[in-house]
Amino acid sequence: MKISVLGCGRWGTFLAWYANRVGHEVMLWGRESSKHYLQLKESRMNDYVTLPQDIMLSNSLEAAVSFGEIIIISISAQELRSFAHSISLQKGLKDKIFVLCMKGIEANTGKRLSQVFSEEIGISSNIGIWVGPGHVQDFVREIPNCMVIGSDHIEVTKKIVESLNSSLIRFYYGQDLIGNEIGAAAKNVIGIAAGMLDGLCYSSLKGALMARGTREISRLVRAMGGNDTTIYGLSHLGDYEATLFSLHSHNRRFGQALITGEPFDKLAEGVSTVKALQYLGQKYEVELPICNAVYEMIFENADPKEKLIDLFLRPIKFEF
């Protein structure tokens, strides 16, 4: 099958490598101004992966959209709306399956990425998501993992899973698009909180963070009409090791750097997602104490130790 991957950063480049490894014909697209794209064009390598010669590289969006039967997208989540608008100007979209491989929620609207994408391209039946745990650094060393693919249409979900399953990535069929998208995005915020604990030398609190983080995100998902159990699956809790504990996690590293005052310039999606979660918490009247504390530490310069004490001094309540 022909597969296009749009976005040639850390994850997009890996996805092209993976689709090629599974046996597909692959075209990887990067924008003309992209340093990532230029580096791949010159060396076929980035910091994480080397691309086999048979992966085609293109900076023509028209060529990339027309090439793939399946079109995988992995760019910064907050850029999806404008990028989707550019895609909407291309031809033949109704015959394609789009797979969003990003973890975010639109910051100023609280909309899930599949909602943003379908609003812009004007089609909703052929959009899937691919989320769950996994770092490029592990996959290229042949360390396998389990991930989840979901959509609102089981035939679409099955087609994507059947095209991409392998002994390196075992996929599960997602059954709850709301839970999977909110869960995948929100784990980055919990990952930032974990990095803050590392920065404070309070890493031993991560067990409690895992227990209470899942609890508050599952309340939100339920209020939004999703299934709270989804939060205990691959898209959220299943991604905690890769985010709350991994040295590779950009979100964890962002949280740690915020506390220690070191610079950090990689994409940490949780920074924008926590704004969206503030909005959703208010809209659905769900208390999100950990997310709110992360928000205040990032955007309102709140003192981390004082925030932690505030969390500990909240009214005592039942665990579940």
Ligand X SMILES: NC(=O)C1=CN([C@@H]2O[C@H](COP(=O)(O)OP(=O)(O)OC[C@H]3O[C@@H](n4cnc5c(N)ncnc54)[C@H](OP(=O)(O)O)[C@@H]3O)[C@@H](O)[C@H]2O)C=CC1
75 touches ligand X (CB under 6 A): yes
CA distances from 41 to 16, 33, 35, 72 (A): 14, 12, 10, 20
Beta carbon of residue 301, minimum distance to ligand X (angstroms, whole number)? 25
Stretch 258-297 residues interacting with ligand X (CB under 6 A): 267, 269
Q: Is 12 annotated as a binding residue?
A: yes
The answer to whether the beta carbons of residues 189 and 294 sit under 8 Å apart is yes
Active site residue 187: yes
Strands 97-100 and 127-131: parallel
Site string for ligand X, 35-64 (x = CB under 6 A): -xx---------------------------
From the list 225, 139, 249, 246, the residue with the least C-alpha distance to 177 is 225
Catalytic residue among 187, 206, 275, 307: 187
Query: Given the complex with ligand X, which of 238 and 304 has the nearer CB atom?
Result: 238
Listed ranges 100-108, 172-180, 287-295, 302-310: which one lies at the site for ligand X (CB under 6 A) = 100-108
8 touches ligand X (CB under 6 A): yes
From the list 164, 165, 158, the residue with the least C-alpha distance to 126 is 158
Task: Please count the residues of this chain forming the interface with ligand X, following the rule CB under 6 A.
Answer: 27
Q: Is 270 annotated as a binding residue?
A: no
From the list 235, 219, 123, the residue with the least C-alpha distance to 175 is 235
Q: Is 130 annotated as a binding residue?
A: no
The answer to whether the beta carbons of residues 190 and 244 sit under 8 Å apart is yes
Q: What are phi and psi of 118, to 5 degrees?
A: -70, -35
Residues in the site for ligand X, rule: CB under 6 A?
Answer: 7-12, 30-31, 33-34, 36-37, 74-77, 79, 82-83, 101-104, 131, 134, 267, 269
| Feature table: binding site | 7-12, 266
Active site residues: 187
